[in-house]
C-alpha cells in the first residue's frame, strides 16, 4: 500500500475510505516513516514546511483540505516537482453565507442583543438602535469564486456592489476600484476575501480603516494576516471604525481580548467552511485528488 502522512483529519466517513486505500500515518510517526511517505494530507495552517518536505524523499503530492495553502512552502514544493492540491469551489456558499451573516450581525448587534436578553436586561432597559444592512454600499476586497458569491447575496439585499482587485475582472459589471482606500471611503461595509500572500499582508491598514470610517463595518472571512490587527483594534477602540465581523485573526486561536467587550464586534472561531456538508465535500476532494495522482490521472484541483 502507498504510505500517506496525515497532518490533519478528514471527515470520519472519508477518513475510513482513506485508511482503506492507503497506509495512513500520523505526524507522530514521522521519524519511522519519513523515507516511505509518498503523499501528505494537510489543512491550512499545518504545513508542510520546506524542512518537512525535505525530510520526505519519496513525496509525490500534497493534498490540502482547504482553499488556502499559505502555510505550505509552495515554491519549494514546485522546485521539487511536487504538486499541491486544494479544495476550491465546494466551500464557496458556506463562506459567503458566513460573510453575510457577520455583516448583518455586526450591523444589527445581534450577538450583543442576545446577551442583553439572556442577562435579563430587557426587563429594565431598552436595547439601543442599530444600523440596517440592506440598501447600503458593499465593497469587496477580492473577487474570486467566494467574492462573487458574497456579491450575489449582498446584491439580493438591495446593496450596491463595488470591488478592489489588482486588475479589473472582465466579465463583471460591478464598479472596480484601483485604490482600496477609495473603495473603503465609498463603502458602508468592506468585506475581505483574498488569499494570504506577502502582497496582501496587512493590506487593510490604518488608512483603509480610517477611510471606511466611524459608520463603516469591516468583515474578514479571508485570513487574519490581510488586516493590520493592531490598527483594527485601535480603530474599533477609538470609534474611528464603526464595527467589525471577524472569522479570522492574526494569531489564531489567540484573539485580542480588547475585542471581547465590544458590542459592535462579532467574533467567530474561523468557521467559514465549518459545516458537515462542506467539510465532507472538502474531504472527498482531498481523497479524489490522491486517487487521481496515484492512478496516473490528471489532478482535479491543482494549485497554480
Cis status, amide bond into 201, omega within 30 of 0: no
Q: Which of 223, 229, 279, 293 is catalytic?
A: 223
Q: Which of 21, 108, 145, 270 is catalytic?
A: 270
Please count the other Cβ atoms lying within 10 Å of the Cβ belonging to residue 165.
18
Indicate the Cα dihedral angle 224, 230, 236, 239, nearest 10°. -150
Q: Which of 115, 175, 252, 277 is catalytic?
A: 252
257 catalytic per annotation: no
Give the residue numbers marked as catalytic: 223, 252, 270
Amino acid at each position: 500500500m502507498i504510505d500517506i502522512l496525515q497532518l490533519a483529519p478528514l471527515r470520519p466517513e472519508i477518513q475510513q475510505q482513506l485508511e482503506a486505500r492507503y497506509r495512513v500515518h500520523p505526524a507522530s510517526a514521522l521519524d519511522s516513516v519519513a523515507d516511505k511517505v509518498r503523499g501528505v494530507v494537510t489543512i491550512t495552517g499545518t504545513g508542510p514546511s520546506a524542512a518537512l518536505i525535505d525530510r520526505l524523499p519519496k513525496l509525490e503530492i500534497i493534498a490540502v483540505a482547504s482553499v488556502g495553502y499559505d502555510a505550505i512552502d509552495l515554491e519549494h514544493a514546485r522546485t521539487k516537482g511536487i504538486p499541491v492540491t486544494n479544495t476550491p469551489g465546494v466551500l464557496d456558499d458556506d463562506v459567503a453565507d458566513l460573510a453575510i451573516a457577520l455583516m448583518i450581525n455586526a450591523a444589527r448587534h445581534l450577538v450583543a442583543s442576545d446577551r442583553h436578553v439572556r442577562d435579563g436586561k430587557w426587563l429594565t432597559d431598552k436595547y439601543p438602535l442599530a444600523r440596517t444592512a440592506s440598501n447600503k454600499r458593499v465593497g469587496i476586497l477580492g473577487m474570486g469564486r467566494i467574492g462573487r458569491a458574497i456579491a450575489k447575496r449582498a446584491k439580493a439585499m438591495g446593496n450596491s456592489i463595488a470591488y478592489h482587485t489588482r486588475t479589473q475582472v472582465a466579465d463583471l459589471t460591478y464598479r472596480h476600484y484601483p485604490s482600496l482606500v477609495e473603495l473603503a471611503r465609498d463603502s458602508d461595509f468592506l468585506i475581505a476575501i483574498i488569499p494570504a500572500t506577502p502582497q496582501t499582508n496587512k493590506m487593510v491598514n490604518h488608512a483603509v480603516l480610517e477611510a471606511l470610517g466611524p459608520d463603516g463595518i469591516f468583515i474578514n472571512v479571508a485570513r487574519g494576516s490581510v488586516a493590520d490587527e493592531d490598527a483594527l483594534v485601535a480603530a474599533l477602540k477609538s470609534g474611528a471604525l464603526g464595527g467589525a465581523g471577524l472569522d479570522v485573526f492574526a494569531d489564531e486561536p489567540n484573539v485580542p481580548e480588547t475585542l471581547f467587550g465590544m458590542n459592535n464586534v462579532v467574533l467567530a472561531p474561523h468557521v467559514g467552511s465549518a459545516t458537515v456538508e462542506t467539510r465532507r465535500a472538502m474531504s472527498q476532494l482531498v481523497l479524489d485528488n490522491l486517487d487521481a495522482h496515484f492512478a496516473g490521472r490528471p489532478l482535479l484541483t491543482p494549485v497554480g
